[in-house]
Homo-oligomer: A and B are copies of this chain.
């Protein structure tokens, strides 16, 4: 068999769900039944169903069985764009220009968010990311220099802070927030739009074992969109 069972079974089940064979919120046959129907082991069906469950298409409960989820498209996976790749995927040449780069005491909002004690300084960076020498996005970042003192010696003019951190700091956890904000004067001039323009912003904060590493906010040029298909 060239076809991979649990994938094809998953596809088949998805099709049957989409065709309305099983009503929204309705019960799907038990694993064992499906297994004999498809002529495979229960484990294979289990795997397919678990994948559908993870994708949010079905809900499973012990003894309760598997039922089609009421709300479609409840969750979507998004690729968080990596600037360089994004620019280069359009055939553009990536570059960046550092506007600010110095140790400062973070404002209270940042400080509490990052659980940095008062009075401690952190590295503040402002960067404009360029596509073919034209502004593409504006980045504001704080780096915890207590956690990553080496960054003070990093050649940030050659490699972006993001890329340096990614290459240097071991893998870490983090969170992401999307929002829309009006460009203020600084942002507008940095990315070359009008003041007040609606900007898509991505905040990303990164931790390493409970220690704060960096937080950044990316302001995208107008018209930026994030896509996800289901």
Contact (Cβ within 8 A) A170 B208: no
For residue A206, CB closer than 8 A to chain B, the reply is: yes
For residue A182, CB closer than 8 A to chain B, the reply is: yes
Contacts of A198 in B (CB 8 A): 180-182, 197-199
- Size band of the interface chain A makes with B: 35 or more
Contact (Cβ within 8 A) A24 B166: yes
Contact (Cβ within 8 A) B228 A18: no
Known interface pairs A198-B198, A209-B18; A170-B24 also in contact (CB < 8 Å): yes
CB pairs A–B below 8 angstroms (17 shown): A18-B171, A18-B173, A19-B170, A69-B171, A74-B79, A75-B80, A76-B77, A76-B80, A174-B230, A175-B227, A176-B230, A177-B226, A179-B224, A179-B226, A180-B198, A180-B201, A182-B196
Interface residues of A (CB under 8 A from B): 17-20, 23-24, 57, 68-80, 82, 166-167, 170-182, 196-201, 204, 206, 208-209, 220, 222-230
